[in-house]
């Protein structure tokens, strides 16, 4: 019996429509890839009713705001991901990592997330879709970023909706190989965050190369793509211990406070 209790909404695009949307992106998706995208869309939407994988609840939103938004990154990835090892940091329900892995089978993807139930969902999708170019790993970026098997090991690292720009620099850049890229889709209102983010990038060997707004492809989302190139080695002291990059982002006033002797809680 079919356990899929949520009927697809009428606004969900058909496979042909998904193909049409991908066309201006210089992306040709074959029938298998389109079917995988549609299946992934349905799995994400369905599992999200029981497990909190994404704040995007409706099927149409999953398609436009998550899947199409992820597909927009393919062009940059194709042009810049050298030997082809890509990490999606804080991949959650698999955004953008699973979508990119479906669209770009010639690249090897590692999805990293700290939360077990999200990694379990990623593994279920990988098995269901028969994806051979993706592995899902449970762990904290603060820890794996110091592991010699992971550090400096990826041509490109993506991270969407994970934490602030400055924290993402600290969590992401250690994984990036020299001259590789950190690719961060963000909303358009990021000027303040950018000031601290740039400072953080500088301390970590990264250069913010651009932060351009992406052209609209029908996703109804305004996105800026922050592109950071690793020009120098990231100092070995980074990332700092678990939780610190997000709590005291490098280059922020909190970071300065972190450097002073600790005050007791409740003290003046
Ligand atoms: N990229 C997905 C998920 C965003 S939610 C999307 O766009 O929908 C953020 C995810 O990042 C969560 O699943 C959380 O578990 C993960 N995360 C946050 N900090 C992390 C860290 N330091 N290491 C690994 N995963 C982290």
User: Is residue 211 a contact partner of residue 225, using CB atoms and an 8 Å limit?
Assistant: yes
Question: Which pLDDT value is given to residue 259?
Answer: 57
Residue 261, pLDDT score: 56
63 DSSP assignment: I
Across the beta sheet with 224-230, the strand order is: 134-138, 108-113, 85-89, 154-158, 176-186, 224-230, 206-210
Q: Residue 121: exposed, middle, or buried by beta-carbon count in 10 A (0-12, 13-18, 19+)? A: buried
pLDDT score for 90: 98
Ramachandran category for residue 226: left, alpha or beta (phi over 0 → left; psi -120 to 50 → alpha) = beta
pLDDT at residue 234, as a whole number: 98
Any atom of ligand 1 within 6 Å of the Cβ of 95: yes
Nearest atom in ligand 1 to 97's CA: 1
Per-residue pLDDT of the chain (268 residues; tens, 9 = 90+): 444 444 444 445 677 777 777 777 778 899 999 999 999 999 999 999 999 999 999 888 888 888 888 998 998 899 888 778 999 999 999 999 999 999 999 999 999 999 999 999 999 999 999 999 999 999 999 999 999 999 999 999 999 999 999 999 999 999 999 999 999 999 888 988 999 999 999 999 999 999 988 877 777 788 899 999 999 999 999 999 999 999 999 988 888 644 555 555 554 4
Least Cα distance to 122 among 87, 152, 95 occurs for 95
- The span from the CA of 176 to the CA of 87, in Å, is 9
Q: Is the CB of 88 under 6 A from ligand 1?
A: no
What is the predicted pLDDT for the residue at 183? Answer: 97
Cβ 205 vs Cβ 228: under 8 Å = no
Please indicate whether residue 54, judged by its CB atom, sits closer than 6 Å to ligand 1. Answer: yes
- What span, in angstroms and rounded, lies between the C-alpha atoms of 175 and 145? 6
CATH architecture of 15-253: 3-Layer(aba) Sandwich (3.40)
Measured in Å, residue 90 CA sits from the centre of ligand 1 at: 3
CA of 100 to the centre of ligand 1 (A): 17
Q: How many Å lie between the centroid of ligand 1 and the Cα of residue 117?
A: 12
Q: Return the number of other C-beta atoms located less than 10 Å from residue 225's C-beta.
A: 16
How do the domains of the chain map onto residue ranges? 15-253
Asked whether the whole model's pTM tops 0.85, one would answer yes
């Amino acid at each position: 019996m079919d356990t899929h209790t949520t009927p697809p909404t009428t606004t969900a695009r058909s496979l042909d429509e998904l193909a049409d949307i991908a066309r201006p992106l210089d992306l040709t998706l074959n029938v298998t890839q389109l079917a995988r995208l549609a299946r992934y869309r349905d799995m994400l939407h369905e599992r999200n009713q029981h497990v909190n994988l994404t704040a995007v609840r409706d099927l149409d939103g999953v398609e436009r705001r998550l899947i199409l938004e992820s597909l927009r990154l393919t062009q940059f990835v194709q042009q810049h991901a050298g030997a082809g090892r890509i990490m999606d940091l804080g991949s959650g329900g698999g955004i953008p990592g699973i979508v990119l892995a479906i669209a770009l089978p010639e690249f090897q993807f590692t999805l990293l997330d700290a939360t077990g139930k999200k990694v379990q969902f990623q593994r279920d999708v990988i098995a269901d879709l028969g994806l051979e170019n993706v592995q899902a790993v449970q762990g904290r970026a603060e820890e794996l970023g110091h592991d010699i098997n992971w550090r400096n090991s990826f041509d490109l690292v993506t991270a969407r909706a994970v934490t602030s720009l400055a924290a993402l620099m600290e969590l992401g850049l250690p994984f990036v190989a020299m001259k590789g890229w950190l690719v961060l889709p963000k909303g358009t209102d990021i000027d303040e965050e950018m000031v601290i983010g740039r400072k953080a990038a500088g301390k970590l060997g990264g250069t913010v190369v651009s932060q351009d707004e992406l052209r609209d492809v029908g996703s109804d989302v305004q996105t800026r793509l922050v592109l950071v190139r690793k020009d120098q080695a990231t100092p070995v002291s980074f990332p700092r211990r678990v939780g610190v990059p997000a709590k005291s982002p490098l280059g922020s006033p909190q970071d300065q406070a972190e450097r002073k002797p600790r005050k007791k809680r409740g003290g003046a």
